[in-house]
Amino acid sequence: MTSLTDTLREAAETIDLPQDPWPEFARRERAHRRARRVRRVALAAVVAAAVGVQANVVPLPGWAPGIAIASPWSALAHVPPRGSLTADQAWLAGFRDRVTGIQDPDGFWAVAGRDRIKVLYASDAPGRRVALVLVPLRLGFITSWELIWYDGPVGAAPRQMMRGGNEDASNPVVTLTQVDGEHGGYAVVIGPPDAAVTISGDPHYTAGGVVERRQLASSDGTGVGLAVLPPAPLPPGLEARVTRGPQVLYQGIVAGGWGSSAGDPSVPTATQLAEAARGSRGTAPDPAILRSFVGLALTDSQLPAAGSTVRLRWWGTVNGQAAALLTVQPAGGGVIAYAMHGGATSSRTDLRLLLPAENASARPVGWRLRAEGGDGRTGEVRVATAPGTATATVTIGGGSPVPVALDAWGAGTTTVPPDQPATVTAYAADGSILGSTPVPPFENDMSRLPGDTPGTRIVP
**Helix H or strand E segment including 90:** helix 89-98
**Helix H or strand E segment including 15:** none
Helix, strand or coil, per DSSP, at residue 396: strand
Q: Averaged over 8-16, what is the pLDDT?
A: 45
Res 49 pLDDT > 90: no
Res 365 pLDDT > 60: yes
Domain end call among 236, 265, 294? 265
Residue 65 lies in a domain: yes
Residues 245 and 298 in one domain: no
Q: Averaged over 170-189, what is the pLDDT?
A: 92
Give residue 74's pLDDT.
84
Q: Which amino acid is residue 277, in one-letter code?
A: A
Domain that holds residue 315: 270-456
Res 277 pLDDT > 50: yes
Res 31 pLDDT > 50: no
Residues 178 and 150 in one domain: no
Residues 22 and 157 in one domain: yes
- Which of 198-202, 216-220, 255-259, 280-284 comes out lowest in average pLDDT? 255-259
Give residue 262's pLDDT.
78
- Dump pLDDT digits (tens) for 125-162: 888 999 999 999 999 888 889 999 999 999 999 999 99
User: In 219-286, where do the E strands start and end?
Assistant: 224-229, 239-244, 247-253, 256-259, 281-282
Is residue 435 within 8 A of residue 386, CB to CB? The reply is yes
Distance CA 2, CA 104 (A): 6
The whole-chain average pLDDT of the chain stands at 87
Residue 241 lies in a domain: yes
Give residue 158's pLDDT.
97
Q: Averaged over 314-324, what is the pLDDT?
A: 97
Residues 257 and 378 in one domain: no
Residues 244 and 204 in one domain: yes
Residues 76 and 152 in one domain: yes
Domain end call among 138, 162, 186? 162
Residue 167 lies in a domain: no
**Total domains present in the chain:** 3
pTM for the model stands at: 0.81
Q: HSE-up of 60 (CA within 13 Å, CB side)?
A: 23
Q: 288-319 b/e with 16+ CB inside 10 Å = b?
A: ebbbbbbbbbbbbbbbebeebebbbbbbbebe
- Dump pLDDT digits (tens) for 154-178: 999 999 999 988 888 989 999 999 9
Residue 285 lies in a domain: yes
Give residue 106's pLDDT.
83
Q: How far is CA 352 from the centre of its chain?
A: 13
Q: Averaged over 204-221, what is the pLDDT?
A: 95
Higher model confidence: residue 315 or residue 32? 315
